[in-house]
Structure 1
Amino acid sequence: MGEMERHVPEPTHTLEGWHVLHDFRLLDFARWFSAPLEAREDAWEELKGLVREWRELEEAGQGSYGIYQVVGHKADLLFLNLRPGLDPLLEAEARLSRSAFARYLGRSYSFYSVVELGSQEKPLDPESPYVKPRLTPRVPKSGYVCFYPMNKRRQGQDNWYMLPAKERASLMKAHGETGRKYQGKVMQVISGAQGLDDWEWGVDLFSEDPVQFKKIVYEMRFDEVSARYGEFGPFFVGKYLDEEALRAFLGL
């Protein structure tokens, strides 16, 4: 029997950016609409003030945010927040949970991750004008979002983490070429969650047309990196709510 081939680890080179919290909530509509109008108006004014603070942070380059009406039973609202670190992200989450509006909300799902750019073979330049904006993305203030968590498979011969860096790079290059077909139609943000949450990555897709989510995800399923190595969690799709739309959603 010949000597067993020794696996030499070749981890991906990564750069990390803003911390991200996807905070999905269910709204108790019966309780909300049975509350006195004055109580609902007070809760709304407090929530509006909180969102104003998030907007000011974004304008100061200290984060980004988005609020979405989520389709289906998995959630009613998504509060998406990005911050330079975990501490300000915890504060954003806590401020919402302490608000009067939170009395009418329940938690349905959450995902904590960090915006990530990866390179399989050589480190990225953190000062590159191409790299820096992608580490601190700004959430579009219109359109729709599709979020899902995912893993890379580690089963038998289909073990992503046992592949040589050069092979991983080739697979990801082909995957990226598929994604580039949707430039101008879909904005994509990848965040890493290894050791932070139950899945390894979070994927956010932003578009003015939700059908583009179906198209890009379906086409990418035919890429070998997805077909052999991709494992996907639940999908959440929502519509961006500005202040006027959020107030209308709340029936005020």
Structure 2
Amino acid sequence: MSEAAHTIEGWYTLHDFRTMDWQAWKAASDEERAEVLHTLEGFLHGWQDIEDQGKGSYGLYSIVGHKADLLFLHMRPTLKELNEIENEVNKSRLAQYLYPTRSYVSIVELGGYTGDPEKDPTVKSRLYPILSKDKHICFYPMNKKRQGNENWFMLPTEERIRMMKNHGAIGRKYAGKVQQIVTGSVGLDDWEWGVTLFAEDPLQFKKIVYEMRFDEVSARFGEFGDFLVGYGIPKEDLNRYFRI
């Protein structure tokens, strides 16, 4: 029999990708740019206060390539709080220069394929992670196939457990090199899961994803969306990023 895997959930998560209108930014006056940066600094300060209180986390990242320029990554206890953050940015002067490119709504998820996640001593830090502010980041959405004989959700529970244990063993080989946050999005967004990776060395993204391509779970059942990569922008680097 095929049964749904037991999962436990943590913070709701919003990946908010934006494109910068650099032509409009260059045309703005020095005073206007200073005011907009002051607004952004105010947002970052407020988000940091929330993080310091243990009520969420955030990160700001520069994205490499044409798919986006910036990623505002937020984690909060409720969807309402995520929406309030999104609306606050959209109503600010900052939004005159930043356009939504894509977004992803999900919730931090720990699955039970490799044991009872509630008995994991690291469960709290994994459900409510503090996001890296200065490492490289890689994000991609994914599904499990459900086509004909390659239907993940129709497999016997024991077979899914076996394959996920092998899949997880590959990830553990990269402990200390790659931090992974898996967020579930079934019923929340167009894909079933989002995977967010952090690393000092972005080459590790290629290595872990490539190695997992040869694992049965990915080779037989994995379907992947766009990959977006970039690096964190610490608060002290804001002026350098936006400098004309």
Q: Please tell me the TM-score bracket, short chain as reference.
A: over 0.9
**Matches of 1:202 and 1:45 in 2, distance apart?**
32
SS of residue paired to 1:10: coil
Q: Map residues 158-173 of structure 1 onto 2, 5 A cutoff.
A: 158-173=150-165
What is the number of equivalent residue pairs in this alignment? 244
Identity of aligned residues (%): 53
Question: Which residue does 1:45 correspond to in 2?
Answer: 38
Question: Which residue does 2:221 correspond to in 1?
Answer: 229
Question: Which residue does 1:18 correspond to in 2?
Answer: 11
TM-score computed with the length of structure 1 as normaliser: 0.94
Aligned-pair RMSD on alpha carbons?
1.3
Question: Which residue does 1:242 correspond to in 2?
Answer: 234
**Matches of 2:110 and 2:35 in 1, distance apart?**
42
Q: Which has the larger radius of gyration?
A: 1
**Matches of 2:115 and 2:206 in 1, distance apart?**
32
Output the amino acid matched with 1:111. Answer: Y
SS of residue paired to 1:82: strand
Question: Which residue does 1:30 correspond to in 2?
Answer: 23
Q: Is the 8 A contact 1:112 1:196 kept in 2?
A: yes
TM-score computed with the length of structure 2 as normaliser: 0.97
Which of 88, 92, 97 is matched with 2:85 structurally? 92
Output the amino acid matched with 1:142. Answer: D
TM-fit CA distance, 1:59: 0.6
Output the amino acid matched with 1:195. Answer: G
Q: Is the 8 A contact 2:105 2:189 kept in 1?
A: yes
**Matches of 1:243 and 1:209 in 2, distance apart?**
21
Deviations 1:155-189 (A, max 9, x none): 11110000111110110000111001100000000
Question: Which residue does 2:201 correspond to in 1?
Answer: 209
Q: Is the 8 A contact 1:121 1:166 kept in 2?
A: no
TM-fit CA distance, 1:141: 2.1
Output the amino acid matched with 1:75. Answer: A
Question: Which residue does 2:168 correspond to in 1?
Answer: 176
SS of residue paired to 2:206: helix
Output the amino acid matched with 2:109. Answer: E
Question: Which residue does 1:60 correspond to in 2?
Answer: 53
TM-fit CA distance, 1:243: 1.4
Output the amino acid matched with 1:143. Answer: K
Question: Which residue does 2:149 correspond to in 1?
Answer: 157
**Matches of 1:119 and 1:71 in 2, distance apart?**
34
Question: Which residue does 1:185 correspond to in 2?
Answer: 177
**Matches of 1:163 and 1:36 in 2, distance apart?**
61
